[in-house]
Chain A
Amino acid sequence: MKALIIISILGVVAMMADVLRYKKLLVPIIVTGLFIALATVCMDWNTNIRYFNDMAYFNNYALAFTGAVIFITLLWMFIGQEYFQDSHTKGEHAALILFCLSGAIAMISFSDLTLFFIGLEILSISLYVLAASNKSDLRSNEAGLKYFLMGAFATGFLLFGIALIYGATATFNLQGIHDALAKGAISPLMVKTGVLLILVGLLFKVSAAPFHFWAPDVYEGSPTLVTMFMATVVKTAAFAAFYRLFSTCFISLADTWVPVVAVLSAITMLLGNIMAVFQTSFKRMLAYSSIAHAGYMMMAIATMNKVSAGSIFLYAIAYSIGSLGAFACLHAMSINGDESISGINGLGKRQPKVAIFLSLIMFSLAGIPPVAGFFAKYYLFYGALIGGYTWLVLIAVLSSLIGVYYYFKVIFALFKTNPIADEELPILLPKHYILLILTAIISLGIGLSPAWLQSLIS
């Protein structure tokens, strides 16, 4: 809770920066604030406190995810601070990012559907603005509008679902809903429709098929830094909320939604991976890869057993760290304006160390041992196997193989024989370089000792 308060205050402080003229101090203030928030998360560990008449419940699950999104934001700040340097819009960007983060934390820690909805909206509305924040770029405007229109629809579905659930159970509280459903004898049609409508809203947020159509365009059109934030922090938070809602609240209705999630998970991972193969733009490829990863994480929600919470956490972190590394490279490329995969042709010859670290990141995303992504996948597959979803695991294995193909396209490009001219190669500034190395090392570290992260919240 303290983390949520600190970050909300930070957002307000950032908004005032322009008026009260302390712009120069903004980045240090934000970084310090985030560190303090992270520290409070660590201090609250194992406390399990419920706040505001059981609106928010900070157990270890919520704390772990809160810590994760703050940590990812801190890593994001390496490059992201540039986004705050813009002379006339400085305060807004920082404030929006921080509000987005506080929305994410509210979504992670809710134990009441109202807080869930409020968190989701704080997150989404900030994101709509952020997506369109590059005002002079047509694609950014398109991304913002598209995201807003589609997002508004999804929110509508979600709200309708919440209303139906409330109508059937007469409570917004997760535990209350769970108890009411367990007792039975309430209009099953209303409840089932409600659950499925909420599911639609959430599937939209995590960009799962068949509600993924916005993702590639929005990811591609938004400024790279916003995409990076969307693909990591927002996705992690959305999955944390997804899992929390369905594991505590609707577990007794598993028959209704589990088959849907399992089948959509298979479709999402196959679709994301197959579409990613055909992309020539690095950014668009990462967008489809993020859809595919959503598919994998949905496996854990479909199986819902004792390892799922831990494995979804591990996967979200492994995926986010890997994506940060890949986006660091992409951001360096976008300075030159060339975001296609062929833009790094022959970079391996010129900067072998960058090539090795980027390859490690790609290994992690593709799920090859001993990097983090492998163990993350392993836990997911293992959980699905003990849950009896052999068919789903087989599809997941198949789609991972497809995934290897396009992640390796990046590595192949690094070592192409006909490199592009020196001056056209992306220039990695120290901040890109540091973030790339940091993410690669963290990925390797998680890969070598995955157990503690996974067991953190199981």
Chain B
Amino acid sequence: MLTLVLIFFPLLAALGTLILPRDNAKMYSFISSLIQLGLTAYAFTLFLTQGVDVLAANYEWVPGLGISLQVGLDGISILLVALTNILIPLIILSSFRNNYSNPSAFYGLILLMQFALIGVFSALDGFLFYVFWELALIPIWFICLMWGGEERIRITLKFFIYTLAGSLLMLLGLIFVYLQTPAPHSFSIEALYQASLTAEMQGYIFWCFFLAFAIKIPVFPFHTWQPDTYTDAPAQGSMLLSGIMLKMGIYGIIRWMLPILPLGIAEWGNCVMILCAISIVYASVIAIYQKDFKRLIAYSSIAHVGLITAGVFSLSIQGLQGSVVQMLAHGINVVGLFFIADIIQRRMKTRQMDSLGGLANNSPLFSILFIIVLLGSVALPLTNGFVGEFLLLLGVYSYNAWLAAICGLTVILGAVYMFRAYQKVMLGEVHERSVEFTGLAKSEKIVLIIIAALIIVCGVFPKPILSIAQPALEEIVLNLQGVN
């Protein structure tokens, strides 16, 4: 029941924000996201004290087709729900200095997005998962379309068609699996896990599912929508897309693909690993040559999620552990980075790194917080990024040492482009306009300090996160080993 409240509260809040007077939309949405955070904390304590069952719920929706409103949270999903509900208030708070036209629609859409995301992470019915998956696309698409940059129409169209093509394939795959479930057919996760699929069928369905997830993540060569969309979206849109939405893809792989298609994964896992390795190197090299800071973050994001995906497909417990930790870490870090890009852009009216420089002199606090976020992103020990990347590389190493060596390049190349960016923006010759760079405002300070704190705390004490996800991940790995 509580899970349903967690899903539907943001929907009510979104409708409320749309209806209530627009002047206070910021405040309404912020308060409702804080209430949601409180609810999440309560759910978390329930989960820790009473286990998985208390958060499960199951109601009929379309009985004739075996579709039900079945939701629940286990160790993996509750972490992602927590991530979503921690990031949304931060994202809303980060927009306090921006004045978007039509604020009630803007914040309403962010909350609608939250509704869909929580739905994706907690759905235990394949069809429900698909509906939320599609639903998540609509608000973010409107956010990019209504508040995006100059070329938004072309870019959002590509983004939408790309992701929709993927999800339709996934729907076909889902229906196919559904038809193989024991009679009476059902979309519930238990039934889908029991579907009798031959190795050949699994091979085809694998690609149906994987394309949908790979486009969302994105993995090379399905990434071409991503840099444009991230760059062109408003800052909060980029944060939602990269911070939370791409985790839908990785979560989808862990929750739906690994258990349903073990044979498909055995057959095509190799191929995915190689694509991930290409993603990592390719995106990192491109990132080095970027001049626009936001675009650089976009490419760095491809590299990071490439490694996460590789970790998942290593099918080892370390790799999966790493992927969960790194999903959280990447979510927090990338939101921080996009926020930093937004702070710079709002003050300097440019993101081109060549026309920036010497900002560190003007605001020491900003430069310290920037460096913490950056260290988290390049995976320095004692930051959250380190724990995740270390486990991920360990997982990939257990799969294949050469691949691990290639994937390990992400750490080195990541340091290159990130430090180079920092150097160009914050240090070096003081650019004439940099003198006008003013210190951080209160809301900006709060957001960045919270993010920096999360980066360090998760880096120093990763144990709780690891132990929460452990049982659910072990079950998946055992299941995989049982089949192979």
Contact = CB atoms under 8 A, between A and B. Distances in A.
A368 interface: yes
Contacts of A404: 160-161, 164
A415 interface: yes
A368 B160 CA distance: 11
A455 B64 contact: yes
A382 B168 contact: no
Contact of B164 (A381, A401, A454): A401
Given A369-B130, A386-B179, A405-B161, A415 B145 contact: yes
Given A368-B134, A381-B175, A401-B168, A451 B64 contact: yes
Interface in A362-408: 363, 368-370, 374, 378, 381-382, 385-386, 393-394, 397, 400-401, 404-405, 408
Contacts of B105: 352
B65 A451 contact: yes
A272 interface: no
Contacts of B176: 385
A212 interface: no
Nearest to B146: A415
Interface string B128-165: 00110011001000100110001001000100110011
Contacts of B146: 348, 415
A416 interface: yes
A403 to B, nearest CB: 10
Most chain B CB neighbours (cut-off 10 Å) among A369, A374, A382, A417:
A369
A343 interface: no
A412 B164 contact: no
Contacts of A401: 161, 164-165, 168
Contacts of B145: 411-412, 415
A416 B157 contact: no
Nearest to A451: B62
A80 interface: no
A341 to B, nearest CB: 13
Interface residues of B, number: 29
A450 interface: yes
A370 B150 CA distance: 30
B135 A369 contact: yes
A378 B102 CA distance: 35
A385 B179 contact: yes
B5 interface: no
B63 A369 contact: no
A408 B160 contact: yes
Contacts of B65: 382, 451
A247 to B, nearest CB: 20
Contacts of B61: 449, 451
Contact of B157 (A378, A385, A405): A405
Given A368-B138, A370-B131, A415-B146, A450 B62 contact: yes
A174 B436 CA distance: 85
A259 to B, nearest CB: 23
Contacts of A454: 64
Contacts of A386: 179
Contacts, number: 62
Interface string B378-405: 0000000000000000000000000000
A352 B102 contact: yes
Contact of A363 (B102, B138, B172, B179): B138
Contacts of B150: 417
Contacts of A385: 172, 175-176, 179
A397 B135 contact: no
B164 A369 contact: no
A382 B64 contact: no
Contacts of B171: 378
Nearest to A450: B62
Interface in B200-253: none
Interface in A430-458: 449-451, 454-455
Contacts of A352: 102, 105
A363 B138 CA distance: 10
A405 B161 CA distance: 8
Quick one: which of A368, A374, A405 has the most chain B CB within 10 A?
A368
Contact of B153 (A363, A369, A416, A451): A416
Given A401-B165, A401-B168, A369 B175 contact: no
A449 B172 CA distance: 21
Contacts of A374: 134
Contacts of B168: 397, 400-401
A276 to B, nearest CB: 15
Contacts of A369: 130-131, 134-135
B200 to A, nearest CB: 14
A393 B169 CA distance: 11
A348 to B, nearest CB: 7
A230 B171 CA distance: 33
Contacts of A382: 65, 175
Contacts of A394: 172
A189 B150 CA distance: 64
Contacts of A359: 142
B161 to A, nearest CB: 6
A359 B160 CA distance: 14
Nearest to B150: A417
A381 B168 CA distance: 11
A381 B138 CA distance: 22
Contacts of B172: 381, 385, 393-394, 397
Contacts of A405: 157, 161
Contacts of B142: 359
Contacts of B63: 451
A369 B164 CA distance: 11
B153 A412 contact: yes
B203 to A, nearest CB: 15
B148 to A, nearest CB: 10
A370 B127 CA distance: 11
Interface string B166-184: 0011011001100100000
Interface in A263-309: none
B59 to A, nearest CB: 12
Given A370-B135, A449-B61, 15 more contacts: A368-B164, A370-B131, A374-B134, A382-B175, A385-B179, A386-B179, A397-B168, A401-B161, A401-B164, A401-B168, A405-B161, A412-B145, A416-B153, A451-B62, A451-B63
28 contacts: A359-B142, A363-B138, A368-B134, A368-B164, A369-B131, A369-B134, A370-B134, A381-B172, A381-B175, A382-B175, A385-B172, A385-B175, A385-B176, A394-B172, A397-B172, A401-B161, A404-B164, A405-B157, A405-B161, A412-B145, A412-B157, A416-B153, A449-B62, A450-B62, A451-B61, A451-B62, A451-B65, A454-B64
Interface of A: 348, 352, 359, 363, 368-370, 374, 378, 381-382, 385-386, 393-394, 397, 400-401, 404-405, 408, 411-412, 415-417, 449-451, 454-455
Interface of B: 61-65, 102, 105, 130-131, 134-135, 138, 142, 145-146, 150, 153, 157, 160-161, 164-165, 168-169, 171-172, 175-176, 179
What are the 7 tightest A-B residue pairs by CB atom distance, in nearest-first order?
A: A451-B62, A369-B134, A369-B131, A397-B168, A412-B153, A415-B145, A451-B64
